Amino acid sequence: MNIKNIKSAVSSQKNVRTNDKNLLVDLKLLLKGPVLIANVLPVFTGFWLALFVSNASFYEYFDVFVFTIIGSTLVMAGALVLNNWYDADIDAIMSRTKQRPTVTGNISLKTVLIIGITLTLLGFLFLFFTTVGAIFYAFIGWFTYVFLYTMWSKRKYTLNTVVGSVSGAVTPLIGWAAIAPSNHIIPIILFSILFIWQMPHTFAIAMRKYEEYKAAGVAMLPVVRGFKMTKRQILVYVACLLPLPFYLHELGIVFVAIATVLNLTWLGISVYGLFTKDDQKYAYVSFLYSVNYISILYVFMILVTMPVFK
């Protein structure tokens, strides 16, 4: 092989690696990687706490755990992909979503639709080996996100945040229902925490991306009602989180104390937001805190119940 052929072979290998890398980037954007991972954690937490309350062994339910996690992840991935498929037009307007393959054309819209439907069906196939309850809550989350949020309310009504919050809040119920009936105070509070949390979290994002949502014509609260109303709403929703940890006393006094401190800190940030004139700085701080808040809270729920792992 001469030098020219060697250089050509090396160049071809580099192109293959680049194409593979670009495909992985496109798939990550299509599946909304960080969002997907963030939604899997509550499923695991719900599953784990159901084991804790039922005094069951993780090893006894390991097969159910595998089917639950894989199934729910695929269903949520399918919903996120279908959201990208439907929102390709407004994603092209917003700078934070312009790199999605549905906008760049790296993956055709027809292919994206097929991927979304396929992932959804595969997800429910895996969940078929769990319980009716897990399938039910997964369907509620999928249907609410794809139809009621993405296709109906997102572009028309400020209540789109409320609708979208339902789909995110059912995730711990999927995990819990795979083990035990969901008519227990713990899964109800897990749902409530996630539902309420998503409101100020999403409002903070909408404040930060105000110009983009306005340009895209998405009816987010800051766009329709302004920053002052949005900051008052954030304060109200954060205040609603205050009593919830006390309903989780079965997780121990340490958890209740830590959760209360987290809630009071966020409440303080929200009060500060009412008086500051730097709305963008406040929105960034509130968003950053909200992300860490929910991660710490749900991970801590698992840590304080670690003895169930036997």
- Average pLDDT across the chain, whole number: 92
Comparing 96-100, 101-105, 115-119, 134-138, the range with the smallest average pLDDT is 96-100
pLDDT per position as a tens digit, 250-308: 999 999 999 999 999 999 999 999 999 999 999 999 999 999 999 999 999 999 998 64
146-169 tens-digit pLDDT: 999 999 999 999 999 999 999 999
Q: Compute the distance between CA of residue 105 and CA of residue 93 in angstroms, rounded to an integer.
A: 14
Give the integer Cα–Cα distance in Å for 111 and 156. 27
What is the pTM assigned to this prediction? 0.90
CB 178 within 8 A of CB 134: yes
Domain covering 33-308 assigned CATH 3.40.50 in the classification: no
For the chain, what are the domain ranges? 33-308
Report whether pLDDT(3) > 80. Answer: no
Greater pLDDT, 35 or 282? 282
CA distances from 117 to 1, 70, 78, 296 (A): 48, 16, 6, 33
What pLDDT does 25 receive?
A: 87
Mean pLDDT on 91-110: 91
**How far from chain centre, in Å, is Cα 216?**
22
Burial of 171 (0-12, 13-18, 19+ CB in 10 A): buried
DSSP state of 291: H
**Among 43, 45, 48, 96, residue whose Cα is nearest residue 70:** 43
Does residue 106 contact residue 88 with C-beta atoms inside 8 Å? no
Q: Which residues contact 271 (CB under 8 A, 6 or more apart)?
A: 235
